[in-house]
Structure formats: C-alpha cells, structure tokens
Structure 1
Amino acid sequence: MIPLAPLGLGAVYNGAFSTIGRYARQLFGAMGAGLTLLFAAAVGAFALAYLSVEDDWHVLIHADEPTWAMASPIVVSVVVAYVVVMLLTLLVNSFLSAVSPVVLEHAVLGRRTTFAAVWRRAWARTPSVLGVTLFTYLLIAVPVALFFLLWISLIALLVADQSPLMAPGLVFLLGLLILPLVTWLVVSFSFAPSAAVLESAGPITALKRSFRLVRGAWWRTFGILLLTGGMAAVGGWIVQIPLLFAAPQPSYDAYGPYDEPPADAGEFFTDVYGDALSGLWTYLVLTVIVTLVVQLLATALIQLVSTLLYIDQRIRREGLGESLARAAGHQ
C-alpha cells in the first residue's frame, strides 16, 4: 500500500486513503463495533442510575420545598454514572487508537485480514495504548494545572485587592508559554500508540520511542498532523452544511405576542413544531448518523496518517523498509 522508502507528503496521504478504501470493512467495522458497545454501556449506566433513584426522583419533583437531602441521592447517582461512562469512553478511545495501526500493519505488506483478527489484535494492545493515553494526559495536566492554579490565585488576590498590577500580564504570558509546551508534548508523543501496537511496547517504552522518533522531525510531524486535522475538520463541516438547511423550522405563529405558552414542555414543543414533528425526529436521527460517520472517517484518517509518519521515521532512521520488503517477499 506504500513504497518501502522514505515517504513524502503525497505517499503518506495516498497510503492513508488507499488503506481506508481497501480495508474499510475491517477498519470501520471494528471502530463502529467499539462505539456501539460504548453507546450501549452508556445507556445502561444511566438507566441503572435512574432506576436506583426513581423513587427519590418522584419525591423531589412533587415536593413543595425541595431540599438537598432529597436531591443528593440523585446527584450522586448521576455523577457515578457519568464517571463510569467517562472511564469507558477512555477505554474505547484507546481501542479505537489501536485499530488503525493494526489495519495498517497488514496494509503495508499487502496482506489480507479479517474483522475478527483486527478486533482481537486491537483489544490485546488496548491496555498498553490506554497506559500511553493516561501518561500523556498526566504530562499535559501538569503545566495546565499550574496555569489554572496561578489564574485562580490571581482572582483570589484581585478579590482581596492584594494583586500587584503586573500579575494579570504575567499570567497571560505564562498562558502563552504553556500552549506551545502542551503542543510540543502532544506532537512528541503522537507516535506512542503506533509504537505500543506495532512494537508490542509497554506504555513507558512507547512514549520513549515516540519521543526519539519525533525528535529532529517535530516540525514536519506537527505540520502534517495539523494539515490532516484541518482537512478532516473542513471536510466534516462541508458534509454537514446540507443538514443545517434541511432542519425542520419551528412555527413562530403558534402563539401570539401576548399568549402564555403552556406549562407542559411537551405540549409547547408539539405546538411550535406542529406537522414537522415527525420530520424533526428523522432529522435528528440522520444528524447523529452523519456526525458519527464523519467522526469515524476523521479519526481513522488522522490515526492512519500518524502511523504512516511513524513508519516513515523508522524507514529513514532504522532501515525498516528493508525488513518490510523481506517480510513482504516471504508471504
């Protein structure tokens, strides 16, 4: 799918789009299945949260004077469900990050693969990719947390009228310094998921490998990833423009300027949308599907380009092209 030699920009994009075209079923099948599991788990988590506090909810909405004691079980249940869903989202996102390198591993050598093989291999490397994600978030969180602590401290000093005149400017300059630092960290560790999958490396080893491979090629990596992200964003925006014009329009004549809208939200919603109500639900479902497809395509493209840049750096520095050529010749 790619020339086993240093890759130019055209070869990187040609390899990414060729992989999407040839392995679409395996690539998007695994990614779609992962997102479906996440959606089902999220619905189940919030359904269980609601069932666990259903009686408390009825007591709260019928109470003349709601109290914190009535609302606290509901708040705790929602927070627990939200935390569970966020943890599951982190796990599934790590799985999605492992899918593209697994598919590209076969595509580079021109080998066929199956959905089941991609699914098993991606889940097997998900713990390592998850570790990479957590360590990356932790490294990024340190400067970001420092900035927010200084910002909050400044606000406290301003409230107490004890802040020096130069403090806001210093915090602003610190923010300008932190943004490049965060960007540098993200790009420096952008190859870590690929290393975790293709080299079966642990999280720390994968981060070190990414840092070494990106060093000396940071600006090239940054530029191509930025261009790819921009292409994905613009393409997604163009695809979704027709949906903006196809949205059912509410009827603003349902109520006069002096009419009181009904207290029931469902009745108000029905009156405003009228005959377009059934079309509204169709529009919402279509919007969700289109958004999901766009996100899958964007995620796959960015991850494939990142993995191809990782392979390119290994070809340039470690002679990986010769090893791949020998592997392709012995298939």
Structure 2
Amino acid sequence: MAKLKDKVVAVTGAGRGIGREIALLAAREGAKVVVNDLGGSQEGDGADVGPAQEVVNEIKGFGGDAVANTADISNPQGAQSIIGDAIDRFGRIDGVVNNAGILRDRIFHKMSQDDWDTLIRINLNGYFYVSKAAALAFKEQGSGSFVHFTSTSGLIGNFGQANYSAAKMGVVGLSNSIALDMARSNVNSNCIAPFAWSRMTATIPPQNEEERKRVERIKSMTPDKIAPLAVGLLSDEAKEVTGQIFAVRKNEIFLFSVPRPIRSMHRSEGWTPDSIVSDLLPAFRSSFHKMERSGDVFSWDPI
C-alpha cells in the first residue's frame, strides 16, 4: 500500500534537486503535492515559474496529482499561499517539507549584512512562516507532519558559512520546539541533514586537492537518496518519531545526538574569573570538543 495514500503534502524548493525528488516520490506514494519553488538563483535572486510547473507536469504524467506554487517563502503571505493552495485544491494539508534555501558563502570577516539578512530571511524565517501557516491547519484537524532540512554545516561546522550554519542550527531549534508544542495535537517534527550533489553544493569551489576529492565523493550522492527518509517520516507509521535529527549520505542514514551536559563542577562559595581560569577550565579541558568541519567527521567514501 502506498505510504502517503490520500495525504496532501507541500514541498518547498521542489522545482529542482532534493525537493524535486521528494515531491516525485511523495506523489508516487499516493500523496497529492503542492510543488513550491520560486525558481530563483542559488543566491536568492530572480524568479522563474518553470521549475515548479515542470515537476507538476511530471507528476501528472505518471498519474499523480499536483499543483504548482511559486511563492517566496520569506514573505509571510507567500508562505500562507502554499498552505492555502493545498486546502483550496485538495481540501487539507497533512505534511510539510521545508527544503527551500539559498547559499551566500563568504568568509566571516567579509560577510556583508545583506549576505546575513537575506539568507536568514529565507533559510530560517521562511521555514517559520510556512510552518506557522501549516500549524494552524494541523491543530484544527489534530494531525500533521513536518520535515525540515538542516545541514551538517550547522550541526558540525564548515568554512565560510556563518550565515548558513546559524540558520540551519536555528532550524533544529524550530523543529524541536514545534515537536514539543504540538505533540498534544498529534503533530510530529523532524530534521534531515542531506549530503547530495545539487546546484547549491556546486557553487562551492574546491580550494585544494583534498577538497576536489571531496567534491567527487559528493557527486555520487544523488538527491534521490534523500527522498525515501523524508517520505517515510511523513507517513502514519512514523507518527511517534518526533524531535529527531537525521542525516542521509548516499546509502547511509545517521541519527544525530543533541546537546546535553557532559561535565559539571560546583563551588559552594561561587566562582570568580580567577577560579574559572585556574580550576574550571583545566578540569573541563579533556572534555572539550575539537573544531571540525563536516568533511572531517564524514571522511570515508560512501558506498
């Protein structure tokens, strides 16, 4: 039986790459799909109605049902229209995949205010606007699922991505809060950090031979490898899974830990700057995590 039979799912950034593959698989698994894509560049410029409509045409071509939406998710009214199209066209909304995003990579001391503001507006605020619009419908009907796309750039770290990393860690906090706040309404919320070759990853130039080899590894991680987890998390069988962070790397799927206290130290008389430096920091030093990038942690070749 199709995993999403009779469900209505909205996928943002679904005109290309990962979002496209999720929209196609969701439709093949029985869902009616709102295919949202502004059709802009990877830096957030311009608009093109073509990509969203092409995915809709492909879905209809194999007997599925879908509608195109070209709204800008960073505009609250545009985000509302995505959920509005689902309800107006199909009568309900059951799942939301927050996938749309841009890159504005700059080394931190060269990052402009516009680089920061534009990326946060789309990659974090946009997720809030879409989620908030859907949450009202989910609460009324007593069910719903969110899948939000985060990144190991935020979970672990990467060069030149302070804006992107901050937004993607913000997405984790957003998802966790939704999971806590909406559990009573039978709504679950989870995150996926994808490894996949896309327009976004193609914009990051390799700086050395090690980086070039990493790019070649990423090229083997096609967007279709991400879609099964996203679709599975939207299904009724995954309703009890919430507040989790997953990663997909070709045929590997990971479950991430979340921050929890690992050491403590108490002084009944309280602390001073001197005692912090002389006592606390040396005691904690062996438990400090080392600075790494995503590529340092996921250093082996995927199979």
Question: TM over 0.5: same fold?
Answer: no
| Structure with bigger RCO (C-alpha 8 Å, 6+ apart) | 1
TM-score by length of 1: 0.24
TM-score by length of 2: 0.25
Instruction: Give the structure with the larger strand fraction.
Output: 2
Rg: which structure is higher? 1
Instruction: Give the structure with the larger helix fraction.
Output: 1
